[in-house]
Structure 1
Amino acid sequence: MKKFLFVGFALFAFVLLLLAAVPFFFKDKIFDLLDKELAKSVNAQVYYDREEIGLSVFRSFPQLSATMGDFGVKGNPPFQQDTLIHVGYMQVDIDIWSVLFDDNPSLKGVHLEDGQIYVKVLEDGQANYDIAKAVEEEVLPSAADSSSFQLGIDYIEVDNLDLIYDDRSLDYLMVLSDMKLEGSGDLTLDVYDLMVSGDAQVVNVTYEGVEYLSDKFLTLDSKVNVDLEKMRFSAEDAFLKLNEFGFEIDGYLAMPEEDIEMDLVFSGENNDFKSVLSLVPGIYSDSFDNLTTSGEMDFAGSVNGVYSETSFPGFQFALLVDDGMFQFPDLPRPVQHVNLDLKVINTSGDFDLTTIDLSQFSLEFGNQPVLGRFYLKDLVSYEMDAGLKGNIHLLELTSIFPMEGLELKGKLSLDMNAKGRYDSAAQIIPSINAQIGLEDGFIKTSEYPAPIEQINFRAEASNSTGRMRDMNVDVPSFGFKLEDEAVTGSVKVSDLEDLNYDFSLHGAMDLAKMASVLPLENTLLEGRIQADIDTKGSYDAIKNNRFAQLETSGEMQINNFYYADEDYPQGVRIHEALSNFTPQSINLTKFDARLGESPVQASGSLSDYMAYLFGEETESLKGNLDVYSSNFNVNEWMTASDSPDEDTTSLEVVALPEDIDFTMSVQADRIIYDNLSLADASGVVRLKDGVLNLEGFKTNTLGGSLGFDGTYNAKDLAHPTFDMKLDISGLGIQEAFQSFVTVKAFAPVAQHVIGNFSTTFSFSGLLGQDMMPVLSSLDGKGLIKVTETAVRDSPLIQGIAKLTKLNDAASLRLKPLNIGAEIVDGMLNVAPFELQLWDYPTKIQGSTGFDGRINYLVSVDVPASKFGSQVNSLVAGLAGTDLSETTIPLAITVGGTYGSPNISLATSESLDSYVANALKSRLSGEKENAQEKIAADFKAREDSLKQEVRQKAEVARDSVEKEATKLVEETKEKAVDEVKNLLRGFTNRKKPTEEAKPDPE
């Protein structure tokens, strides 16, 4: 017996040892097969670390479990910046028998924890989840060779995962956080049932710019029948719950082609009034479970039809609340007798024919009733019938709703009715009779000891005929008081065709005190505003320039104003500003401020402001402003980069308003812009029709003076352009190279030149999205005057000296010279000009491309005697030969780039052969023929280079245009990034970030 037990125990121990050893024996085989399958079928970067992978047969016996840490899938272009999935922990269960006895392991289960899924669809329909490699028919594998890797998943588990679904083809964004899901389904079949249950936090659901859901908790339990051949997804008794609001879905959704077919029925499930309350923002909080409620609720709806670019499915929804009541814990008064009957109906499939019918709405705040109704026939005729009536004592609201640290008083009254049709073209509006009022309002917070009190507001609107001409809006009084300062005013508008108005505002306000009572998040606000304004007139008088019929007077004064927030941390401080008002203009008589660290004084006026505010779209706001600053730092207001490795001062292309005609005269003792310091700057800025003109600008910088006129035109954001005329005198060449990108690109030799230059140069082209010139688009022309200069350590001069053996000096002095140049399609063409290279007459011509390539012909006339014995032997025996008067024209070509030039003799001969042949040609009278051939060869090379640069410029401009069209996409990317940042704060856990993800390489 003992022997039997011993043998049994030994056999059992051997089996355990074998099972424990299986993962180590087959680990490489499994992951070699996995890598092979991924490379065969996935067009993406899949990253994981084998050293962090664990294998076990005990964790999910009889399956073999593979676990790994950080795992992810990152897209290929155009999704190279997007990670489709990243998880902190993943476990895959594999059938152990398939590992032991089959060539292809069979996947049985997947467990994902802590990560993020980012699904992205571009406007053209490209999706980052479409990573399966296409298989061409002619290279389809045979049945014996094809992959039989099984994907029948018995169990799926997701824990603490985020999902961002960003579909830009539909303008749809859905963000879910902290998903916990369990599911199963045989994904190897074309038709299968997918069982799924779990929950998630709905962070945001936005469609076409409208936010439909935010900050809701979603629960689901569903069986979905998936038919991949028909792309049909059917649900029966699928249960979903938003917060506490539960409903079932029956029906299907199908996508056989591009259209979406749907037939879905919704019905409420296990709901009461408390369920619908959970959807109200602010109520579904930590105290929601302790909320006392009663009342019934019913919900039903359906969607049936086809969604496409030309059609919309019909739909209808109904929500009914009967005698609802809720009361917050520890508060004495309830909201009670809540009744609601809402129907939204569209049977036509035309969204504009949607009917909204809120036939009943009533509730009581304590014992204060509020009654309402709203009916809208459709979104075409806008025929409506609406009303709202109630009286609310604000003090009682604090006994109904939690308002810690807030004290309210006052009586709010509402009595509004509107019935009829709205048609702006026919000048028809609903008949209206409305009164809104607040008496003895009072607001006090724990943040500030004094209240805003004596808040009074009364407004009436009436129109009995439905004609715009008979509309009247009257606010006979509004006002409030904070400590000893009061603000009062009135507004009256009548006849919406002629637009008669009567407005007044009087009083003073301390903004710091106001911000203490009504705080603004992440904003600092200080200062005092005093206003005394009265205006009366009509738009008809404004339009016809009958200013004598207008009565406008008053002034506004601002003292010690300060504003700063997260977007403008530099802050804006206005020490004092004073303006007055007339019918024709608003006059700024004094403005003493500091914008960040820059002091600014200004004065000016705005005219035609009434026509601009109340007139047609064609009316422009006109104005002029004189601005002075002793020291203005532009860099402080440039866009900051979040990356420490990037330039922290960059600009972005912005569209300018086309309805503003504004002239600004600027004068500054010093302006700091990028790495430039501009002294004694002055000029005029003119904005009209969306184009910015710079006129007569002058400044001193870089040791000289700079004047320019130009335009900036960004009407087409994808093709912003500029046109500039420069008048430069005495600028340092070294300084210009360090400061101007165009000098670096087209005159790189400037980095080795010491001296000054002057120029009159005009050029134009495209601007990139960083507001810098697109070099490949430049066109221009001008004359460059160079004073006496010195060239030091230039690779060109060194290369010529090494080739010709004429002079090995590292420096060279040049006398003053004039250089004619033009830029065409991003290539600088230099007209032939003469100078002294060392002591030899020299002519230079050629071009520099925006891409840095150079092509120059340097012709140097060198006395034959400089070449010594080799020349003497050639002329030995030639009677009457005088070498003192004979010169040899050295023709040198310079190519490559300035930093790495290719320097050679134009004929590609050795120097000895070149000199010998040149001397023979000179002595025999064939000089002109040789020079013509050299010029022709150079011209051919130059034409070829220009063609290459032109083609490259076209590609570069196309690239810039594509970059510009990304503006909208980048805006959406920023919105997604903001969502990702929001996700990190939604739970207490640490979210994986792009920066933290391992390099797939």
Structure 2
Amino acid sequence: MKKKILIGFAIFFLILGILAALPFIFKDKIAERIDREIQGAVNAQVYYDFNNISLSIFRRFPHISATVREFGIIGNPPFQNDTLVHVDRLQVDFNLRSVIFDDFPTLTGLHLNGGSLYVKVLEDGKANYDITFPSEEPATESNFKMAVDIIEVNDLDVIYDDRELDFFMALGQIDMVGRGDFTMDVYDLPMEMEAIIADVSFDGTNYLRNKKFKGETVLNVDLEQMKFTLGDGSFRLNDFLFDLKGYLALPEEDIEMDLAFEGKNNTFKSILSLVPGVYTENFDNLRTSGTMDFRGFMKGIYNENSFPSFDISLKVEDGMFQYPDLPRPVSNINVAMHVENSSNDLDNTRIEIPNFSMDFGSNPISGRFALANLKDYTMDGSLRGKLNLEELTSIFPVEGITLRGMLDVDATAKGRYDSVAQVIPSMDARLALTNGFVKSSDYPAPIEKLNVNATVSNPSGRMDDFIVNLSQFGFELENESITGRLRVQDFAALNWDGALQGGVDLGKMLAIFPMENIIMEGKLKADLQSKGSYADVEAARYNRIDMRGELDLREFYFNSTDVPQGIRINTSTMEFSPQRITLKDFDSRLGQSPLTATGFLSNYMDYFLKNDAVLTGQLSLNSSKFDINEWMTADTSEESMELSVVELPKDIDFTMAINMQEVIYDNLSLKNVRGNLGIKDGILRFRDAAMSTLGGQISMNGTYDPRNITEPVFAFDLDLSSLSIPRAFESFNTVRAFAPIAQHLTGNFSTKLNFSGQLGPDMMPVLSTLDGKGLLRVAEASYQNPQLLQAVSQVTRLNESNSLQFRNISIPVEINNGVMDVRPFDVRLWDYQANIQGSTSFDGSINYLLNMQVPAGRFGSMANNILSTISGTQASESTIIPLALNLGGTYSNPRVSLAGGNSIENMLANALRSRVTQERENIQEQVTQQFRAAEDSLKREVRAKAETLQDSVRREAERKASETKDRAVEEAKSVLRNVLRPPRQNTRPDTTSNP
């Protein structure tokens, strides 16, 4: 018996060992199959480490499981910076028999644990999830067989950013389980899902934020008809329970739906959990009572021309809630709401709220509202109530703020809005705040004597009977007061009469109403009066508008995360008249840069009241030293200092006269900067701008045009006089690219140059786009570069010094598409007459031809030996030898070779035998033609490089242009990572020990 037991155990452990060894035996086969399927199916960058793949037969016996850690997919351009999918741990189950014996493996399960999914759709419809191979490209057909019976997802974050539809959704901590036979065209899929809805926004409006979702249902999937039907189940949003039944179908381009929803076993507390700010950690301790009923449906077709009909109703009776630590409740909450649309036109939506009431402590508020449609906005509504602000702090948790005062509201409105017929609803509304008091625990003094008295009336419904009268507005803060009034009459003409007087300490206001990461100080004093009509503004009858007074700002300081440099305004006085705002005095310090200004703004009434108006003005700016580097980026670390493309407003027409003693820009010190700048139609224009720098003078006229933010362009007429050549090389990347010889030159240069091109996202010129034309003049310069000159000596056998002197050189240059052509010019190299021509490309490559006229005697014994073999010749040591050199490669790694000959001896012998000047000239012409033919071929290669580079720059510019929206995505990711997700506890055992 014992023997049989031992044999049985031995067989069991043998089978167990075989099962444990099987995954390792077939690991390479399975991994090779996975890699082949990925390569054949996915047109994107898939990253994973083969060493992070493990296999097991025990995780889901009798299936074999392949697990990969740190797996992800990154899109191709323009999504090369976006990770579509990242998975911390992915387990894929296969049928073991299919792996061992079948030609094709059978997939039986998917398990995802930890990761993120980022779906991004651009404005033009391009999507980062489109990673399958185009139909014209060959793609390996997948041979996987599907028999999946389980899908598990744990701790997944999802961001859906559709910029074409202006729809944004962020979900976090998604846990989901689905089971079913996914091999069939029609099957039931039992599903369970939990998630946090971080953000759901559409067309700029937020609909859900920071809500917990939980759902359980059976989904019937019909892949033939693309129809998805919800069976019995339950759903929860925060504490709100609801049922959702019906189907969603996708026939071609339309979305067909028939969905019904209804609240389940809910109380008033359930609907209260959806109110922002109420559903907190202490929500369970909130005292509530009351009943709630919610139901509705959506049925029909959704497409560009149709919207499903719907009917939604909500009813709350006898609702009440009270915070546990506060003495007063909000009680007698009664709401009845019905939103209905029986057509497929959203404009036919009807809203009815026949009853709305609640008591804030002892203060009742009640109202009603009805809206017939979204076409002529026929409405009938009212709102009445009184609020004791002191009681509010005993109802709602408001930390650090003391409130007092009485707010009284009584408003009715009835009628329709029709701008053509000059009809608006009749109105009678009164709002009064008396004896208001606000005190913050962060500041000892309160805002007091806060009084507001406003009425809105229109008894007839005609636009000319419309009156808004803010007859009183004012408050006091530490014996400083602000008072004002405003009356507006006639909804069409908008006649106004208002005034504002008094002063306020901005630092005190910020202490009472703090704003995060903002420092602000200063005293603002106003004495303004205005009377006029918007009809006169539209007609530019500014002489009929009375606008006068002064606005004075003193000792102002502002600092924030966006402006860490700080802005200080010592004094600023603006004087208002109907025609203009005059800046009488402006003494400031922007960062460390002092700046004073005077000027005026005109057309300001039109600008502030009309969307398409243009603000005009003149400014005179003066500074003793202005440091642009301080404002190069919001990040103050030196490594990250960079410029970005500045978009200019198209509704401003400014001219500015600048006079600055010194301007610091990058590594340049610009002295006596002066000139006129103009901004109009979104273009910056420079006129008569001049400055001293690099030992000389720069004058320029030109434009900066960023209207196409992804391809900003510039054009300048430059006049450079006596600039230091080596300092220009150090300071300008264009000089380093197109004139690398400048690093070995001493002396000054002058030029007049027409210069244009495109700027990159960093505001630096894109070298491959540059065009220009001019004449470069060098009065006197010295050149020392042993590497290049020795290379010339080795080829020519001329024993000359490692330095050259230049005097009175004029070099004609022309730049086309990033290639600088140097037209032929004469120069003396050592004691030889020479002619130089060629080009330098934006990529650093050089291609030059040097034609030198060298006396034969300078070649020494080599020439004498050749002369001794020639009888009856007129050649002598004074015979001029045409020596042509090709200079290629790059300036740092030049290639020097003879043009038109394979050795200096052959070239010299042929030249001496020719003897005749005409033949010598023919040789030079032939060499030049060969050089130009080769140069054309090189330029074609450079143009191809330029186009590739420009595409790269354009993509980078488009990426930066979308950074604003990308920041919203990053903020959502930050919320998902840091706010919604609690820190994970370290589950590893503590292996440390105390000594």
* TM-score, normalised with respect to structure 1: 0.92
For residue 746 of structure 1, the aligned residue among 738, 751, 754 is 738
Cα distance change of structure 1 residues 698 and 991 upon mapping to structure 2, 3 Å threshold: farther
For residue 920 of structure 2, the aligned residue among 919, 924, 927 is 927
Instruction: Kindly indicate whether the alpha-carbon contact (under 8 Å) linking 1:321 and 1:341 is maintained by their aligned counterparts in 2.
Output: yes
Where do residues 585-604 of structure 1 align in structure 2 (5 Å cutoff)? 585-604=580-599
Which residue is equivalent to 2:89? 89
Where do residues 434-445 of structure 1 align in structure 2 (5 Å cutoff)? 434-445=429-440
Q: Percent identity?
A: 50
Deviations 1:616-652 (Å, cap 9, x if unpaired)?
445432222222222211111112569x8x9622222
Which residue is equivalent to 1:982? 975
Instruction: Kindly indicate whether the alpha-carbon contact (under 8 Å) linking 1:787 and 1:816 is maintained by their aligned counterparts in 2.
Output: yes
For residue 329 of structure 2, the aligned residue among 330, 334, 338 is 334
Deviations 1:501-540 (Å, cap 9, x if unpaired)?
2222122212222111111112112222122222223345
Residues 1:190 and 2:190 aligned together: no
Which residue is equivalent to 1:34? 34
Where do residues 43-82 of structure 1 align in structure 2 (5 Å cutoff)? 43-82=43-82
For residue 899 of structure 1, the aligned residue among 888, 892, 897 is 892
Instruction: Kindly indicate whether the alpha-carbon contact (under 8 Å) linking 2:564 and 2:634 is maintained by their aligned counterparts in 1.
Output: no
Which residue is equivalent to 2:388? 393
Residues 1:167 and 2:159 aligned together: no
Aligned mates of 2:342, 2:647 — CA distance in 1: 43
Provide the alpha-carbon RMSD of the alignment: 2.9
Which residue is equivalent to 2:426? 431
Where do residues 481-630 of structure 1 align in structure 2 (5 Å cutoff)? 481-541=476-536, 549-614=544-609, 616-630=610-624
Where do residues 201-600 of structure 1 align in structure 2 (5 Å cutoff)? 201-541=196-536, 549-600=544-595
Deviations 1:838-857 (Å, cap 9, x if unpaired)?
11011112222333333322
For residue 639 of structure 1, the aligned residue among 616, 626, 633 is 633
Aligned mates of 2:394, 2:92 — CA distance in 1: 55
Cα distance change of structure 1 residues 140 and 762 upon mapping to structure 2, 3 Å threshold: closer
- Cα displacement (A) at 1:200: 0.9
For residue 753 of structure 2, the aligned residue among 758, 761, 767 is 761
Which residue is equivalent to 1:886? 879
Which residue is equivalent to 1:997? none
Deviations 1:545-599 (Å, cap 9, x if unpaired)?
6655444333222222221111111111222222322333222222222211222
Aligned mates of 1:710, 1:692 — CA distance in 2: 8
Instruction: Kindly indicate whether the alpha-carbon contact (under 8 Å) linking 1:724 and 1:764 is maintained by their aligned counterparts in 2.
Output: yes
Give secondary structure in 1 for the equivalent of 2:79: coil
Cα distance change of structure 1 residues 132 and 578 upon mapping to structure 2, 3 Å threshold: closer
Residues 1:848 and 2:833 aligned together: no
- Cα displacement (A) at 1:543: 5.8
Cα distance change of structure 1 residues 660 and 262 upon mapping to structure 2, 3 Å threshold: same
Which residue is equivalent to 1:936? 929
- Cα displacement (A) at 1:814: 1.5
Aligned mates of 1:50, 1:273 — CA distance in 2: 55
- Cα displacement (A) at 1:795: 5.3
Aligned mates of 1:470, 1:942 — CA distance in 2: 80
Aligned mates of 2:544, 2:130 — CA distance in 1: 68
Aligned mates of 2:892, 2:282 — CA distance in 1: 71
Which residue is equivalent to 2:993? none
For residue 721 of structure 1, the aligned residue among 706, 713, 720 is 713
Aligned mates of 1:55, 1:223 — CA distance in 2: 32
Deviations 1:919-974 (Å, cap 9, x if unpaired)?
33343742232233223333333444444444554554455445444455433322
Cα distance change of structure 1 residues 259 and 920 upon mapping to structure 2, 3 Å threshold: farther
Aligned mates of 1:543, 1:90 — CA distance in 2: 65
Instruction: Kindly indicate whether the alpha-carbon contact (under 8 Å) linking 2:156 and 2:174 is maintained by their aligned counterparts in 1.
Output: yes
Work out the number of aligned pairs and report it. Answer: 984
Deviations 1:181-234 (Å, cap 9, x if unpaired)?
222233333333222113111101122222211111111112212233333222
- Cα displacement (A) at 1:771: 2.1
Which runs of no fewer than 5 residues in structure 2 stay unpaired?
Answer: 986-995
Residues 1:915 and 2:908 aligned together: yes
- Cα displacement (A) at 1:61: 4.2
* TM-score, normalised with respect to structure 2: 0.92
Give secondary structure in 2 for the equivalent of 1:788: strand
For residue 155 of structure 1, the aligned residue among 150, 159, 165 is 150
Aligned mates of 1:545, 1:78 — CA distance in 2: 48
Instruction: Kindly indicate whether the alpha-carbon contact (under 8 Å) linking 2:875 and 2:912 is maintained by their aligned counterparts in 1.
Output: no
Cα distance change of structure 1 residues 261 and 916 upon mapping to structure 2, 3 Å threshold: farther
Cα distance change of structure 1 residues 125 and 257 upon mapping to structure 2, 3 Å threshold: farther
Aligned mates of 1:821, 1:612 — CA distance in 2: 47
Aligned mates of 1:75, 1:947 — CA distance in 2: 32
Aligned mates of 1:576, 1:407 — CA distance in 2: 34
Give secondary structure in 2 for the equivalent of 1:813: strand
In the alignment, residue 81 of structure 1 is paired with which amino acid?
N
In the alignment, residue 851 of structure 1 is paired with which amino acid?
D
Aligned mates of 1:348, 1:959 — CA distance in 2: 50
Deviations 1:740-769 (Å, cap 9, x if unpaired)?
122122212212222211112121222223
In the alignment, residue 534 of structure 1 is paired with which amino acid?
Q
Give the stretch that moved more between structures: 331-340 or 857-866: 331-340
Instruction: Kindly indicate whether the alpha-carbon contact (under 8 Å) linking 2:173 and 2:981 is maintained by their aligned counterparts in 1.
Output: no
Instruction: Kindly indicate whether the alpha-carbon contact (under 8 Å) linking 2:851 and 2:924 is maintained by their aligned counterparts in 1.
Output: no
Deviations 1:429-488 (Å, cap 9, x if unpaired)?
333222222111111222222221111111112223434333221111111112222111
Residues 1:712 and 2:712 aligned together: no
- Cα displacement (A) at 1:339: 2.2
Residues 1:804 and 2:824 aligned together: no
In the alignment, residue 627 of structure 2 is paired with which amino acid?
N
Instruction: Kindly indicate whether the alpha-carbon contact (under 8 Å) linking 1:800 and 1:903 is maintained by their aligned counterparts in 2.
Output: yes
Give secondary structure in 1 for the equivalent of 2:916: helix
In the alignment, residue 672 of structure 2 is paired with which amino acid?
D
Aligned mates of 2:736, 2:341 — CA distance in 1: 65
Deviations 1:236-289 (Å, cap 9, x if unpaired)?
234322112222222222224333232222222222222211111011111211
Instruction: Kindly indicate whether the alpha-carbon contact (under 8 Å) linking 1:354 and 1:377 is maintained by their aligned counterparts in 2.
Output: yes
Which residue is equivalent to 1:862? 854
Aligned mates of 1:135, 1:700 — CA distance in 2: 61
Deviations 1:701-754 (Å, cap 9, x if unpaired)?
112222222211223334422221212112111111121122122212212222
Aligned mates of 2:139, 2:577 — CA distance in 1: 82
In the alignment, residue 278 of structure 2 is paired with which amino acid?
I
Aligned mates of 1:856, 1:425 — CA distance in 2: 74
Aligned mates of 1:590, 1:649 — CA distance in 2: 33
Cα distance change of structure 1 residues 939 and 806 upon mapping to structure 2, 3 Å threshold: same
Instruction: Kindly indicate whether the alpha-carbon contact (under 8 Å) linking 1:440 and 1:454 is maintained by their aligned counterparts in 2.
Output: yes
